[in-house]
Amino acid sequence: MSGLVGYARDDAGAPPLLVPDYRSTVARAPRHAPIALPPTLTETTGPGGCWDRLMGPALADLTTQHAGAPLGQRIVVAGRVLDEAGRAVPDTVMEIWQANAAGRYIHAKDQWDAPHDPNFTGAGRVVTDAEGRYRFVTVRPGAYPWGNHRNAWRPAHIHLSLLGPAFATRLVTQLYFPDDPLIEIDPIANAVPLPYRQRMVARFDMDVTEPNWALGYRFDVVLKGREQTPLEEDHHDD
């Protein structure tokens, strides 16, 4: 397997693991720096293409999973999954989960005093097409308080999990909404240095917006790209 082309390492927008303002990182961030290793088949392969067998069908509309419509503002989120060279990444599984419009998760451990919505689970799964495109329908999630510090509130966000083409490209991130004043004071979003934080903010888009039905947001996700193939060494014959 000599000459195996690996994936790029993290770029400048990657957050550090220890973010003291985000309290939960203090006892959970490793103290040792991660060890670089040469790319092997383990890192350059992944389960892409097996999602339907592993996890079942796509569930791209989070507003039709129950008897009635969920409360809140219906939105469409659409975009592309690309690599760092701007190439489409097809057949990528994107799993999503989020709070309801009042900012509450259905999860038993969420004790925030906001109402549950019987018509909203907040979990879905979409798969990119041959051009790397995806689209899902949901409601805009609410902000909610959390216990990190006094008067701490999470900005509205949707969790995204992408399987991508390889073990090395696995990504879990969060999508934030434009013009949300909570982003700049949120320790989790702030783990990402400026100006790269803007990569996690969707933008309002009239081309995704549907008349008389839903506001639209565009959000492209960029996964690590392949490293350049090493050039053949020149052999100089004097």
Partner 1 sequence: MTIDPADLRPAARADNQDPALFGQTPSQTVGPFFHYGLPWKGGADLVGRSDMGARPDLMPEEHYVLNLSAPTGTPAGEVIAITGRVIDGEGAPVPDAMVELWQANAAGRYRSVDDPREDVPIDPHFVGFGRAATAADGRYRFRTVLPGRVPGPGNSLQAPHVALSVFARGVVKRLATRLYFAGAEGNDEDPVLAVVPAERRETLIARRTGPDEWTLDLILQGEGETVFFDL
CB of residue 218 to partner 1, shortest distance in Å = 9
CA distance 197 to 175: 11
Query: Which lies closer to partner 1 via its Cβ, residue 35 or residue 231?
Result: 35
Contact between 114 and partner 1 (CB under 8 A)? no
Q: Spot the catalytic one: 125, 157, 197, 226.
A: 157
Residues 139-168 that bind partner 1 (CB under 8 A): 159, 161, 165-168
Closer residue to partner 1 in complex, CB, 11/181: 11
Number of residues forming the site for partner 1 (CB under 8 A): 96
With respect to partner 1, which residue has the nearer C-beta, 123 or 135? 123
Told to check if 188 binds partner 1 by CB under 8 A, we report yes
Name which of 101, 100, 83 is nearest 92 in CA terms: 83
Rounded-to-integer distance, Cα 67 and Cα 92, Å: 29
The total number of residues shown for the chain amounts to: 238
- From the CB of 161, what's the least distance to partner 1, in Å? 6
Closest approach of partner 1 to the CB of residue 175, in Å: 9
Determine which residue in the list 20, 108, 111, 237 makes contact with partner 1, applying CB under 8 A: 108
| Cβ atoms of 193 and 28 closer than 8 Å | no
Buried b (16+ CB within 10 A) or exposed e, 46-73: bebeebeeeeeebbbebbeeeeeebebe
Active site residue 134: no
**130 binds partner 1, rule: CB under 8 A:** no
- ∠ CA 114-118-124, rounded to 5°: 100
> Which DSSP string corresponds to 120-161?
---EEEEE--TTSEEEEEEEPPPPEE-TTSTT-EEPSEEEEE
Q: Is 96 in the site for partner 1 (CB under 8 A)?
A: yes
**Per the omega criterion (within 30 degrees of 0), is the bond before 195 cis?**
yes
The only residue of 76, 101, 127, 200 in contact with partner 1, by rule CB under 8 A: 200
Q: Is 56 left (phi over 0), alpha (psi -120 to 50) or beta?
A: left
Footprint of partner 1 on 47-76 (CB under 8 A):
47-50, 53-57, 59, 65
Q: Is 43 in the site for partner 1 (CB under 8 A)?
A: yes
d(CA 117, CA 137): 16
| Cβ proximity to partner 1, 34 vs 237, nearer residue | 34
Cβ-based nearer residue to partner 1, 26 or 236: 26
Q: Is 222 in the site for partner 1 (CB under 8 A)?
A: yes
Please state whether beta strands 171-176 and 157-162 pair in parallel, antiparallel, or not at all (unpaired): antiparallel
Q: Which of 70, 103, 122, 141 binds partner 1 (CB under 8 A)?
A: 122
Please identify every residue annotated as catalytic: 105, 144, 154, 157, 159
